[in-house]
């Protein structure tokens, strides 16, 4: 498993605490420092079964500055959203946990983190 985190995020810290308590084997990616490429974002979206706008933090200052709320949410706009996430990683919802079975979850709740740990 890999978990994309922002150390300043309480949900990320809670996920790490739970993973540690359960003895999970995982690696940490501080995605604000080790920024995912557009290809990596596409791959994780495929694993999540989501679209880029589904994992975008639209209340962030960068989102408001870019005017994301007015962007189309369709197949023609998908790459624009992915490029925005790669250029502004603060916009990526967190934490994202890639599970051993090739899927991923947005681990914002204890249930979703536990779900990721059971996916083999």
Catalytic residues: 9
Tell me how far CA of residue 20 lies from CA of 25, 30, 86, in angstroms: 8, 17, 29
Dist. CA 111–CA 60, nearest whole Å: 25
E strand spans, 22-103: 27-30, 96-98
Q: Can you tell me whether residue 43 is helix, strand or coil?
A: helix
Dist. CA 34–CA 15, nearest whole Å: 19
Dist. CA 60–CA 21, nearest whole Å: 31
Backbone angles phi, psi at 51, to 5 degrees: -100, 160
């Amino acid at each position: 498993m890999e978990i994309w985190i922002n150390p300043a995020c309480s949900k990320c810290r809670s996920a790490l605490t739970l993973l540690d308590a359960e003895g999970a084997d995982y690696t940490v990616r501080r995605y604000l420092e080790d920024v995912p490429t557009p290809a990596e974002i596409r791959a994780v979206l495929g694993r999540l079964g989501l679209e880029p706008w589904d994992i975008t933090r639209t209340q962030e200052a960068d989102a408001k500055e870019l005017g994301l709320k007015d962007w189309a949410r369709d197949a023609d706009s998908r790459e624009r959203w992915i490029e925005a996430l790669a250029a502004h990683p603060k916009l990526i919802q967190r934490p994202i946990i890639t599970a051993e079975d090739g899927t991923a979850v947005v681990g914002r709740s204890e249930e979703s983190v536990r779900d990721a740990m059971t996916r083999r």
